[in-house]
Amino acid sequence: MKERYDLVVAGGGYVGLSLALAVRRQSALSVLVVEPQTIAHLRRDERASAVAAAATRMLNVLGIWDKICHEAEPIKKMVVTDSKLGDVVRPALLTFDDNCKDGTSFAHMVPNGVMVGALADAAQTAGVEIVEEDAVRDFDVHGAKVTVRLRSGKSVETSLLVAADGVRSSLRDLAGISTVRFDYDQVGIVTTVAHERPHEGCAVEHFLPAGPFAILPLKGNRSSLVWNERSDDAKRLLAMDDFTFGLELERRFGKQLGALEELGPRKGFPLGMVLARNYVASRFALLGDSAHGIHPIAGQGLNLGFKDVAALAEVLVDASRLGQDIGAFDVLERYQRWRRFDTVQMGMTCDILNRLFSNKSFLLRHVRDFGLGVVDRLPGLKRAFIEEAAGNQGDVPKLLKGEAL
């Protein structure tokens, strides 16, 4: 490991690695990624994420989509229901069964481990240096440089430090950036199940009084589940033996795909909203969940992170080509202006949706069901929702359009 880099990225998940790869492939900037875990450990992540069409275009430009597409399951249809847990019939109130304007699926389900592994391989091939089993402990800014001290005791200098260290970012706190926080008193239970019958690429979101229960298609007769419950109930469910948990799972999943088998492991994640008040400070920038943690009700958390990557990479590469200092505040401010409003808007939208649907109010249920029914009968509005979910709306960075920087 050398002592000086143009860019240091703290966090080697898919967001941090994507930025490192994009910057390195499109410029001569030297890049270091520092990851607390091993890449081998990240490759074993059995969860899966919904990757929007715009993000798949970026991954294609970065040269990894053809390496992971064989493991990706396209979402061909989305069905939304709203019911009580004991309801025998769950009518489909809203159905999306169309592709984007260019004919591509609006999203794919991609295994996290496969995606991180491909990004790490491509980044190292491109010349990104990755330090594993280490972390950024603290940093100091002195004029045009940042001194970054690692947990191992080593130090490096850089022009810019980017924090991609997650929603509980310690570096965000060290940079003096405050946040707006809400705790939903909910836990997201994540697991994988096998089922008898094929899902045919259909994703289902059941809105139940405790929160949404999402069934997301994977390769083969398998589905990824994102199951929201009140915190106390979630603790009880996570502690259940496999047989009892399976009964609770079947009550929510239904029998439309036949017998279920939990492939596990099941994990629980506390749900809340965390929005950074600023995305940048002196020679410092936030990326992905370190800048915004939102409710998974719309499945946009990862895709917001990829939008951050595309915007920041474009800003940094353009600055480098113009001979500008990539860590200068006016350069970083371009990134902040580009991304802050969009992420706040999405965070508040998910907050409102969660509060609207995660309750037992009889009146609200009828109001929201009427609204879903209206949307289902307006093709133009449904098209707008599809394009938004695909990441095609707004001021889209070049990488998300499938264009090189």
Domains and CATH numbers, the chain: 4-73+107-181+272-357 (3.50.50.60)
Q: In the prediction, which pLDDT does 85 show?
A: 78
CA distance 110 to 246: 25
Bridge partners (DSSP) of residue 73 are: 109
Angle between helix 362-376 and helix 329-357 axes, rounded to 10 deg: 120
Let me know: does 39 contact 80? Beta carbons within 8 Å. no
Q: In the prediction, which pLDDT does 253 show?
A: 92
- pLDDT per position in the chain (405 positions), as tens? 669 999 999 999 999 999 999 999 999 999 999 999 999 999 999 899 999 999 999 999 999 999 999 999 999 999 988 887 777 677 777 888 766 666 678 899 999 999 999 999 999 999 999 999 999 999 999 999 999 999 999 999 999 999 999 999 999 999 999 999 989 999 999 999 999 999 999 999 998 888 889 999 999 999 999 999 999 999 999 999 999 999 999 999 988 999 999 997 899 999 999 999 999 999 999 999 999 999 888 778 899 999 999 999 999 999 999 999 999 999 999 999 999 999 998 888 888 888 877 777 777 777 777 677 767 777 777 777 777 777 888 889 999 999 999
Phi, psi (deg, nearest 5) at residue 229: -140, 160
Q: In the prediction, which pLDDT does 49 show?
A: 94
Let me know: does 292 contact 276? Beta carbons within 8 Å. yes
CA distance 359 to 276: 27
Instruction: Report helix, strand or coil for 252.
Output: helix
Q: In the prediction, which pLDDT does 98 show?
A: 65
Longest dimension (CA), the chain: 66
Torsion 198-354-99-66 (CA) sign: negative
The one-letter code for the residue type at 136 is V
Q: In the prediction, which pLDDT does 384 show?
A: 74
Torsion 266-270-271-277 (CA) sign: negative
Residue for token digits 């915004």?
Answer: 292
